[in-house]
Amino acid sequence: MRGVAYAPMSTPTVAVGAICIHEDRMLLIRRGREPSIGRWSLPGGRVETRELLADALVREVKEETGLDIEVGDLAGILEVPGEVHYVILDHFATVIGPSEPVAGDDAIEARWVPLDEVVGLDLTPRFLETLRGWGVLPEA
């Protein structure tokens, strides 16, 4: 379009997140790095070059929580434009084997949070609205 200046945008970065719910508790991590350092979110992260989405999710959850998962269906896609433009594909996942998380990689903390307590945490932007919109968490 003539006469309109557009700010350069970064190439979108593809990321994945795991929605693990067991016995009315959700697996969450508290972020140890930007973006949103110190806030609670789903375990997950960037997809590496030539890595399949499911493989990236298994790797990221293992790195951040020490847990093994089986990847299920896609729950939804969240786009987060900004200095880094993220396209996040969140999947349902099931923890297999021992299920006590231990924070690792870029997570300060990892734990199972009762679903009714998730709303009271300092969550990453749009976390609550997104998971409510997908029917994962109940409306207020």
| Residue tagged active-site, from 34, 109, 117, 139 | 109
Q: Going by DSSP bridges, is the β-strand pair 86-96/13-22 parallel, antiparallel, or unpaired?
A: parallel
**CA 49/CA 36 separation, integer angstroms:** 24
In contact, 91 and 97? CB cutoff 8 Å: no
In contact, 120 and 40? CB cutoff 8 Å: no
The yes-or-no answer on residue 139 being catalytic is no
Q: Would you please indicate which residues are annotated as catalytic (active-site) residues?
A: 109
